[in-house]
Structure 1
């Protein structure tokens, strides 16, 4: 079985969430941090689906390895779906999470309708191009102040009505049960044996000469 898969992110929060859900499977998960000096993917798509695939295929092709990438973000209905695919860089290319949250609060100042949703799309690609796609969303509303210390991104502003807390007030396990990314991961985990078989079959069709990543082939699946 082909058991090395790359997570196309350096975001430690995302890596931790994904590894937590997939840790029971016989697979080695490495992130982009394990492969320095790679050319960056160009995420210029108009949708989360497009960007997730662009990123997954880019790194799969560069590394010669199956790659999981996600694109996710916040859509605020009163803002016409903004920040959307620009969620991570809403207030600029070098924006911090706090910068983005503050800009969102400014944009929503005086607006009563604060309904919003988080969207997440996962794309699993192999070097030749084919990919699997998983998508989920989570409905909530945007508070007028930051609340909570956990999570990342817009979590301190995103209030989840069923449990009366923001995502930043939830533990990782609690968040994974209800969040957009958690929903995708639950679905992915339920089908992961099939996904691994799909990857194995696709990788057999790849060119025989692939980059040597044997140094990463180990059984420490928690790293």
Structure 2
């Protein structure tokens, strides 16, 4: 079985991607499981720049072509905020990963705004080997509601409402969210490439 190292220490993200890729004959392991204790600085100006930087740094550290490296960078883009928080989604309020503060800041900024349309964006880079680097994107559109709803998910999920489902991401079970999420859409674009590689085409 081919091994794929996911260049992330975000346990929620690792769990999501493992679930989504489970139908493929690929063993997905996290950085921690691979014994790599590295935090790549995400200083790119776009999601794609950050995803490539993470994948390339981990690929160079592993230095073993029997492993594929997958990195993603994803976040929330709110139309009325000119695409913010964007690449700063995880550290929107200043402290990396402080979900409570990030959501508070978003709600404050959106307080008197009528256009609440937003989208989650996921950019992924898969390094199969030095000659084969695949870049894909997935998006899911929604609305920023005025108060948090739901206990599941992470990050901005309690504020990100999908009208077709009449639920926020945080109100969905993981199976439902993983069917429609930005990560799922990006991974669908990767599946074909991984299948072809595994079949030796």
Tell me what 1:22 maps to: 21
Inter-CA distance 25–126: structure 2 relative to 1 (3 Å threshold): closer
Q: Secondary structure at the match of 2:125?
A: strand
Q: Secondary structure at the match of 1:192?
A: helix
TM-score, length basis structure 2 = 0.90
TM-score, length basis structure 1 = 0.82
CA contact (8 A) 2:118 2:143 kept: yes
Task: Return 5+ residue gaps in structure 2 as ranges.
Answer: none
Task: Return 5+ residue gaps in structure 1 as ranges.
Answer: 202-223
Q: Which has the larger radius of gyration?
A: 1
Tell me what 2:126 maps to: 124
Inter-CA distance 112–187: structure 2 relative to 1 (3 Å threshold): same
Counting only pairs closer than 5 Å after superposition, residues 40-119 of structure 1 correspond to structure 2 as 40-64=39-63, 65-119=67-121
1:136 aligned to which of 127, 135, 138: 138
Q: Secondary structure at the match of 2:143?
A: strand
RMSD: 2.0
What is the aligned residue count? 198
Tell me what 1:213 maps to: none
Q: Which has the higher contact order (CA 8 A, sep 6+)?
A: 1
Q: Secondary structure at the match of 2:44?
A: coil
CA contact (8 A) 1:117 1:138 kept: yes
